[in-house]
Structures are given as structure tokens and as C-alpha cells.
Structure 1
Amino acid sequence: MKKVTYFNDLGDAQFEEIGETLEPVLQKNDILSITVSSLNVEAAEMFNVANKTSTLNGATNGRPLPTSGYLIDQDGNIQFPFIGSIMAAGLTKKDLRQYITKELIIRKLLLEPIVDVRYLNFKVSVLGEVNNPSVFTIPSEKVTLLEALGLAGDMTIYAQRDNVFLISENDGVKTTKRIDLTTDELFTSPNYYLKSNDIVYVQPNKRKVRTTSNTPQWFTVILSSLSLAIIAITNL
């Protein structure tokens, strides 16, 4: 039972919030929605054109639709109206929001601007021994490992709950971590909250591997045994 249940021997407990910031830095290929509002609605509207030029993520007849927003290019920049090129990679959303607000005021483009920055492609992937493996888009930009597993329909009975594999990428550097969900390890781990583009891989246990790999072999052995038995009976 301990191999197929979560958080064994964990009773009433309290865990302090993990000190590491939950807001990740922006990276190349991130797609951002940047909306600007001001007392002058018409003047602010010109800064929101990129959010309306194309439809949201989706697909029609098997073809992906274009995505609105600002794409951080391979040099780490976005092109923002009247401000020009902005080095966004390496900043947090808060940093970028403050920078754009400051530039709008310094350049006297807007009066008392309000800038909001959001991800349009905050997603996590859950693969392996789960009931619904898929890539999930997270509108709230905040998801725990347990919530991601819930979106994937939870682990199957054949999953290794003590060896969940997490792959993360930050500024081109990939890191891996193995997490034991049969203990309270997750609650004190910085990986409790997933980051955009994280990949969760749930490995199959030995029973699943053995069942899958041995079936053809046993089938061949059984057929051979039956053939030998038939030959022996015929000779008798």
C-alpha cells in the first residue's frame, strides 16, 4: 500500500512557505500579453494593438492558429510601440512592468499609465504513467506539482510514486530532480510550484515493465509447449 499512496505516515503538520520567489524570470520564446491603460483611453489603445492582431492559442482543422502578444526573440528582446527594443529576457514580469511604465512617463507618452504583463504560453507537460498525459496551459500562471498531476488524471496504479522525474529549464540550462511523493519531501521542496515549460515524467514500476515485456515471451513459450504436447499425443 505504501508504494501506491501519497505522503505515507504524514499526519497533522504545518509547513512554512518556501522562501524562494515564485515569480520566474522571463526567457527567450516566452509570449507575453502587455496591456496598457491610462486616463486617456484612446492614447493607451495604440499600445495594445499586439494583443488584438491575432487569435488566442488554438487549432483549426489541425492547423495551429497564430498567437497574439509579444514574443521574446532569440536575442532576448521584444519590440514595444514607441519605446522600441526592450531586453526582456532575464527580467521578472514586475521588472518589465516597471520599466515600461517608467519609459511611458519619461517620454511623456501617457499620463499615469497602468501596465499589466502576463504569460500567454505558461504551460507544463505531464507524461508517463498518468491517465491523461498532455501539455497543459495554466491561465493563472501558478500550479503545484500535485495540481499538474490532477490535470493529468492522477497517476495510474503502475506509477512509481517515489521516483517522479522533473525537468526544468532556465536560461538554456536544463536541470533535473527526482521527487518522492510517498513522503513529505514535496512540501519543503522549491519544486512544489512548477515553472513554465516544466516537464513532469512519471516512470512505470517494475510490475508494469515486467507485464509489458514478458507477455510476448510467455505467449511464445505457451505455444511451443502446446505444440510439443500435441506432437507427443500424436506420436503416442
Structure 2
Amino acid sequence: MQRPLIQNLLLLLFAIQLSSCITTHHTNYLQETKNFIPSYNDSVSYQDYLIKEDDRLFIQVYSMDDKTNALFNGSGSQNTQLMSGTGSNQNLDLFTYIVHSDGNIIFPLVGEIYLKGKTIRQAKDFIETAIKPILVINSVDVRMVGRTFSVIGAGKSGKFTFPREKVNIYQAIAMAGDLGFYVDRSKIKILRETENGSIIKTFDVRSIDIINSEYYYLEPNDVIFIQPLKEQFFGVSTIWSAISTLVTTYSFGVIIYNSFIK
């Protein structure tokens, strides 16, 4: 009676080990939508970000008149540093404007300019239109500053700055140092702030359909949540490690059998 019981236990352990193996199916990106890899509707393309409350906008005004440049952009040295990206954060803050709860920024000589809900390109046109009746200018440059996203979970934690206007989910993963071997790529979650409150989007980052879906591009202040695979409990990453663990388990079972059963 005891021998079949031990054999059944060993077979059960073997089945568990095989089911817990982590293969390339679990870890590879851009997989075709088959073998439990979901498909997503090709319905949402990249949409320009719409300015929201508390966004910070860096605004520079360009004019042939040095006094106008100095008024909006500071001294010549400050202006050169800001345009080249070598200026200090203090200088940057001097020409950064916060979008208030009413959707307006307060701009020198002009006063309130409503920018909430506008794209960066639309904001540029609105500011130029507001300034031109007062001063002769060539153009206006508008950029968002302080655009970040966060990554939390499964040993990953950090806050990252957008290096460009558009950042997709794969670029975000690369910036975070890639997902670990034991991360569940089938259940990536993004917490996103919207005008109607916070929403959570859950998707499988292994699917090639992600590229043309609503999950592909990040927005400022997104939080990416990652969680470990259940297989991490067994620590089995390949068939060879499964066999090694099985042999060890079998040997341990034989020792117990010889010591207590015979």
C-alpha cells in the first residue's frame, strides 16, 4: 500500500513541475495571437496628449526684438542655456507655467490664456494669437515638462521621465530595465488618470496586436503595475531545471522510503 502511494506522489510532483516550467511562450514579446495569446482591436491610433489641470508648460517666445526676448525668456545667457538644454532647473521654472483648475495659465502682458483640453500644437497657436496684438513676435515654442510614468511591482520600482513626446509600452519596459524572468506578462496593468477619474487597463504585453491598440502608448502620470508568475513559487525556468528538481525530489523520496517504510 505504501509503495503505490509514494509512486503517486512522485508522479504528482512531476506533473506539477512540468506545468510550472517557464518557457519562451511566457516571456517573449510580439507573439502572434494564438496559443492563448489574446488579440486586440486595431481601432485606436496615437492621439495627441490633451493638456490637463496641473500640467507644467515651458513656453519660449521668439522675436527679432531683443527686449521682447528678454521680457519672455530672460537674459541672453539664460535664453541660450534654456534653448540648448543646459540651463538649471531654477531657470527652467522661471518660464514654466502651471495650468490652473480653471484651465488657464497666467502669461506676462496677456493675462489668462485657456489651454486645458488643447494639444501642444493648439496651445502654441493660442498663445501666438494672444501675444501678436500686443507685440511683434516670430513664433512660440511650447513644451510639457515634468512628464513622468512609474513602474511598481515584482522587484521593479521607479519613476521615469518621458524622453520624447511619445513613449510606448515597450520603450517604458526598456527604460525600467526590462521585465524580470518571473513577471506575468499576460496581466500588465496601467493606472491612468482621466477627466472622469482613474481607470485601470489590463492587457497581455506579449501580443503583437498591442502595437495598434489603446494600450500601446503611455500618457503622463501613468503607473504600470507588474506581478509575478505563479510558477515563481517553484523556481522552474526550463525543462532541465524541472528534471533536476524531480531527481532531487525522487532521491529524497527514496531515502524516506528506505528509512521508514522498509
| Alignment match of 1:143 (pick from 148, 164, 167) | 167
Q: CA deviation at 1:202?
A: 1.0
* In the alignment, structure 1 residue 192 sits paired with structure 2 residue 216: yes
Helix, strand or coil for the counterpart of 2:227? strand
Structure having the higher strand fraction is: 1
The aligned counterpart of 2:29 is 6
Per chain length, whose mean CA-contact separation is higher, i.e. which structure has more relative contact order (CA < 8 Å, sep 6+)? 2
Give the root-mean-square deviation of aligned CA atoms.
3.0
- 1:84 aligned residue: 111
SS of the equivalent of 1:143 reads coil
- Residue 143 (structure 2) aligned to one of 118, 126, 130: 118
Give the letter for the 2:99 counterpart.
I
Cα deviation for residue 47 of structure 1 reads: 1.5
CA contact (8 A) 2:44 2:212 kept: no
How do 1:28-43 residues align onto structure 2 when only pairs under 5 Å count?
Answer: 28-43=53-68
Tell me which amino acid in the other structure corresponds to 1:119. Answer: M
State the Cα distance separating 1:126 from its structure 2 match.
1.4
Query: Could you say if the C-alpha distance between residues 66 and 119 of structure 1 is closer, same or farther in structure 2, counting changes exceeding 3 Å?
Result: closer
Choose which of 25, 44, 47 in structure 1 pairs with 2:72.
Answer: 47
Percent same amino acid among aligned pairs? 27
**CA–CA separation in structure 1 for the residues paired with 2:123 and 2:103:** 12
Superposition TM-score, scaled by structure 1 size: 0.73
The aligned residue for residue 25 of structure 1 is 50
Please identify which structure carries the higher helix content. Answer: 2
Distance 1:117 1:129 in 2: 37
Query: Unaligned regions of 5+ residues in structure 1, if any?
Result: 11-16, 58-64, 212-236
The answer to whether the 8 Å contact 2:44/2:213 transfers is no
Q: Secondary structure at the match of 1:3?
A: helix
1:129 shift after superposition: 2.4
- Structure 2: gaps (5+ residues): 1-22, 34-41, 236-262
Q: Which residue of 2 aligns with 1:178?
A: 202
Q: CA, structure 1 residues 208+37, in 2 after alignment: closer, same or farther (shift >3 Å)?
A: same
Corresponding residue of 2:127: 100
Cα separation, 2, equivalents of 1:126 and 1:20: 23
The total of aligned residue pairs comes to 196
